[in-house]
Structure 1
Amino acid sequence: MRHPDRSTPHSTHPSTRRRVRALRLPAVLLALGLLPLVSACGGDSSAAEGSSGSGKGKVTLRIGDQGQSLLTTLKVAGQLEDLPYEVKFNQFDSGPLVNQGLQAGAIDFGVMGDTPAVLARASGIPVKVIAVSRTVGPGYTLVARPGSGIHSPADLKGKKIAYSRNTANHGFLLRVLDKEGLRQRDVTPVDVPLQNIGNVLESGTVDAATATEETRAKYLAEHPDAVQVINGRTVTPGYAFRLATDKALADPAKRAALLDFSHRLVLANEWIAAHPDAWVDAYYVKVRKQTPKLGRQVFEATGRTFYVPVDDSVIREQQKQADLFTANGQLPGKVDLSGQFDPAVSKEFNARTVQKGSSS
């Protein structure tokens, strides 16, 4: 399964796209850009497209997906068959936009990287963490263009670096800078949409960029003398988050559906590990529109994903990131993340989502 909150294709037809209303957030949070004022997201897939559920009990889960990753994962693994509830998938282009869908009440469940999960709490969105995946791999790579003068993280001061604000690659960049005793103000950050990171790097208008594995592979193929400065393996835990609204969790029928849905995600993830060729064809070739060769390369380089316990170690890492955002002036003050983790919810969902070998 691919990591959420990475660049996604514009696969939703324009006629189905819709606008999500602006959030009513404190002015200081809006000024800091925690969430965009107005954002586009993909239209709902039909229940027939998203599932073959019978809708027993008239329960419908509204899922916030990114780039069809969850939809494709579940469909190719056969986990959308014989559902006892309906599922509607909403496609978003980034984690911050999933957050806006959660805040607006448009979805019950959302998938995102670690940074948007922190900012969900900072923005007061009423959600809880119900499942966490960890990818044991490079995650993002800071790639420097040839001739940039960047050879190691120590060379980043004063350089122009492309990133996407408030997404997981923003958190990655701050961790890289922190490793060198630097802050965001010590570089010239160039905020671009996730989908445009590769294009900006290719244009030569920045010195370096926070690249996904797919972007890294493509760029290095064309620019073999580019510098791979550092990747997330050494600075990030590799977490991605599944959040559910407090309202959905308070509804017994929806909570039961969320438990089942989360377990199906785990089963689908295990299916992918056992059928890599089918997954590469279904996702990288058919959805991402990559060649089979590149798709396989990206899949193998990305690393294995496991669902891990929602526990104190996860909370500590997230709190560390929140404090780093505060220290960099990206949050107006201390953000306590403990309220996003409910011990009762964690215990219940851990029993259905934690995979064997997830600590490896």
Structure 2
Amino acid sequence: MRRTSRSTVVAVLAAAVLLAAGCAEEQAGTELELTAALPDQVPSGTVLRLGDPQIESIVGVSGQDKELAAAGVKVEWANISGGPKSIQAFRADKLDCSAVADIPSLFAAWTGTSTKIVFQSVTLDPLKYPIYKLGVAPGANVASLADLRGKKIAYSAGQAQGALVLRVLQKAGLSRKDVKLVELTSTGDSYVTALGSKAVDVAPIGAQNIKLYEAKYPGASSIGTGIRDDASTLYCLTSAVQDPQKAAALKAYVGVRTRAVLWANEHPDGYAKAFYHDHEGLSEADAKAVVEIGGIKGIPKTWDAAITRLQETADLLAKEQDHEKIDVNTLVDRRFEAVQAAAAGSQVVTGDAA
């Protein structure tokens, strides 16, 4: 029997290693078509860079971080959310995906950053549990939407709050000429400070901050908008969903994220402690109150209604802010629609809330 020399074995092994490396390199360089099926297997070493602080907290406390690890997904968490910060991070190639409302996807497109929405959730009773209320400055005398005429209103064109202001004016039968829009980016408590100092008369404030605002400034008040504002998404760089490795990891993450949302519904105290108390620094009582104000979140079986609402908003912003018209279907990756519906199982929302 002929024996293979040691040098021959080494040469064969070296060739195999080079071939494997070449295949891996080729796979990494392959662009996944946006119509192709999402890959199931997450290659070893795949990293997702996510700005998703609330879900990060839930994943940790619920034990679903183990599911991510078992799926082979490694996450680099960033304490980033919202449109301006996420778009800036996208442009610097520091982030793959971020948790936002629906407006940032529009402004990303209008400013040359290609993204795709890969996750949608809804509030089951959105008008009872709004994301925003209109904070009213002390002495501003605003008791209804009709009283907005002639008022100074905080306005941020590239944020959900800005779109909400335009929708409120539309509902009230007012135009931008009927009020004074004060350009002010909503960061931290900037809107609250502007109201307290009477730099503006009205500003959209997160519903969870209304009590704090009214307690801090004597004479402060608030009114409801009567407008659905519960859009909640995860959007990603298009290049991330076109990367086969990241697309596979995102498929796994969307499933975990779905279960995290449902876990928070079933464990409101655990959610309150993990995010609002431990991460945000609120007292335990305030943390629980914020979760209660937010209502119950649902996973829609279909994204049709959410896309219709986004198109209506896009058309309004295009008209009012002189943007190009856009077909919002180009901003949504509906391959993930079935992924989250499957992860929600019998808890998927099939009614009007979707």
Q: Which consecutive unaligned segments of at least 5 residues does structure 2 have?
A: 1-41
Match of 1:58 in 2: 45
For 1:314 and 1:256, locate their aligned partners in 2 and report how far apart those are by CA, in whole Å.
25
Match of 1:151 in 2: 143
Match of 1:69 in 2: 54
How much does 1:185 deviate? Answer: 3.9
* Structure with the higher strand share, 1 or 2: 1
CA-to-aligned-CA distance 1:284-312 (integer Å, 9 cap, x gap):
22222222222222211121112224533
How much does 1:208 deviate? Answer: 1.5
Q: Which consecutive unaligned segments of at least 5 residues does structure 1 have?
A: 1-54
The partner residue of 2:195 within 192, 201, 206 is 201
Give the TM-score, by structure 1 length.
Answer: 0.76
SS of the aligned residue for 2:330 comes to helix
AA of the residue aligned to 2:329? S
For 1:147 and 1:74, locate their aligned partners in 2 and report how far apart those are by CA, in whole Å.
44
AA of the residue aligned to 2:325? K
CA-to-aligned-CA distance 1:217-276 (integer Å, 9 cap, x gap):
202234575332223xx2125111112232222233221210111111111112211221
Distance 1:142 1:257, change over 3 A: same
Distance 1:286 1:260, change over 3 A: same
AA of the residue aligned to 2:186? P
SS of the aligned residue for 1:194 comes to coil
Specify the structure having the higher radius of gyration (Cα): 2
Equivalent pair of 2:81/2:100 in contact (CA under 8 Å): no
For 2:303 and 2:232, locate their aligned partners in 1 and report how far apart those are by CA, in whole Å.
14
For 1:63 and 1:314, locate their aligned partners in 2 and report how far apart those are by CA, in whole Å.
23
Q: What percentage of aligned pairs have identical amino acids?
A: 28
How much does 1:358 deviate? Answer: 6.0
Give the TM-score, by structure 2 length.
Answer: 0.77
Distance 1:304 1:184, change over 3 A: farther
Equivalent pair of 1:145/1:227 in contact (CA under 8 Å): yes
AA of the residue aligned to 1:218? L
Distance 1:205 1:261, change over 3 A: same
AA of the residue aligned to 1:115? I
Q: What aligned pairs does 1:90-239 form with structure 2 within 5 A after superposition?
A: 90-92=78-80, 94-135=82-123, 136=126, 137-190=129-182, 191-195=184-188, 196-223=190-217, 225-231=219-225, 234-239=226-231
Higher RCO (Cα < 8 Å, 6 or more apart): 2
Equivalent pair of 1:142/1:211 in contact (CA under 8 Å): yes
Equivalent pair of 1:77/1:268 in contact (CA under 8 Å): yes
How much does 1:63 deviate? Answer: 0.9
Equivalent pair of 1:130/1:310 in contact (CA under 8 Å): no
For 2:319 and 2:290, locate their aligned partners in 1 and report how far apart those are by CA, in whole Å.
34
SS of the aligned residue for 2:299 comes to strand
Distance 1:280 1:344, change over 3 A: closer
Q: What aligned pairs does 1:1-360 form with structure 2 within 5 A after superposition?
A: 57-65=44-52, 68-81=53-66, 83=69, 84-92=72-80, 94-135=82-123, 136=126, 137-190=129-182, 191-195=184-188, 196-223=190-217, 225-231=219-225, 234-328=226-320, 330-348=321-339, 350-352=341-343, 355-357=347-349, 359=351, 360=353
SS of the aligned residue for 2:309 comes to helix
For 2:261 and 2:329, locate their aligned partners in 1 and report how far apart those are by CA, in whole Å.
28
For 1:263 and 1:200, locate their aligned partners in 2 and report how far apart those are by CA, in whole Å.
40
Distance 1:245 1:102, change over 3 A: same
Match of 2:17 in 1: none
* Structure with the higher helix share, 1 or 2: 2
Distance 1:278 1:138, change over 3 A: same
CA-to-aligned-CA distance 1:76-130 (integer Å, 9 cap, x gap):
2222125112100122253222123224332222211121122223234222221
Distance 1:94 1:206, change over 3 A: same
